[in-house]
Amino acid sequence: MKLLKVYSRASAPTKIILFGEHFVVYEKPAILAAIEKRIYSSINIRNDNNINLNINNIHEEIDIDNISLLKDQGFTNLTHPLFIVIYDTLMRFNARFGLNVKIDSEVPFGSGLGTSAAVSASLITTIFNLFGMFDKEEIFSLTLNAEKLIHNNPSGADPAISISGGLIIFRKYNDNKMIIPLEYDKELEFMIVYSGEERITGKIVDNVRSMKDKNPQLFEIFANKSEEITQDAIQALKNKDYSLVGKLMTKNHELLNRLGVSSQTLNRLVEHALNNGALGAKLTGAGGGGSIIVLFNADDRNRLLEAFKGNKIFVTKISNNGIRIE
């Protein structure tokens, strides 16, 4: 296709998982929300064949002809999957030229807020925009492929919410996906508390798979319980029964803790939130670190802010904006 622009900028939202993480990989439903914190990608065309990547204060440059070798050599750097994403997206357009790529995030990487999917979605959208293209289904497919590079066996939930925005029910069936938008209260707020613990999502997902293989009966009990909690939460959200939503969030966290994906730090943060008036709290994402999400009444907002004064925190609403051209 014909190149239409020499500069492009796009963004994608990060996300929280309200219910159903981990079990969504095994065809159980999950509820996800895009949040107001975004990841921005900007690119401009170079006069050579080098791809220069600037992300999180890391600079790396690779000749485009050498990028495909990374797939065979294995990744020795966290930026290498992104070079593959850039290369594969350019090949979609039969394009071969150099790029300066800059990625900026409004949340810490590894915070459990879907940063890897948001980075890939924003980056792919930015390249599509060079050619005047904005095909959400194709961007989803390429973003899911990128997630497979990074996380081995993703459900597709994170790419779905980054691309669609809003509040959704996500469920996968074999290679198919079901995405159902949910109406939501525009004033509903969540507090995000970052634990400071970094973790590798793919490793935690592999640990869960190992647990499933070793004890399939127990895992099935956990998975069915997760589905029950998620279905109850769907109805509670529709009824705007936020007291029940909060209780179900805490129940979901307890289940994830039994699954072995929480940590002492995350458990302490959840307990601290509940002791300071939260309606509910839970880890979000893979667990093992990252962040917790806290649901609260407006009257308890300041109390919770004070309670978590020593932590990296922010309050956010659900964002209706998915991927977009900036």
Average pLDDT per run of 10 along the chain, which is 326 residues long? 94 98 95 98 96 92 89 73 95 95 93 93 98 96 90 87 98 88 95 89 87 96 98 97 98 97 96 98 93 97 96 96 98
pLDDT at residue 234, rounded to an integer: 98
Task: Count the Cβ atoms, other than its own, within 10 Å of residue 232.
Answer: 17
pLDDT at residue 227, rounded to an integer: 98
pLDDT at residue 225, rounded to an integer: 98
- Which listed residue (158, 175, 241, 300) is catalytic? 158
Domain boundaries, the chain: 7-183, 189-317
- Which CATH code is given to the segment(s) 189-317? 3.30.70.890
Architecture of the structural domain at 7-183: 2-Layer Sandwich (3.30)
pLDDT at residue 74, rounded to an integer: 65
Phi, psi of 139 (to 5 degrees): -65, -40
pLDDT at residue 102, rounded to an integer: 97
Catalytic status, residue 158: yes
**Helix H segments across the chain?**
64-73, 80-92, 115-130, 136-151, 157-164, 201-214, 216-238, 242-259, 264-275, 301-307
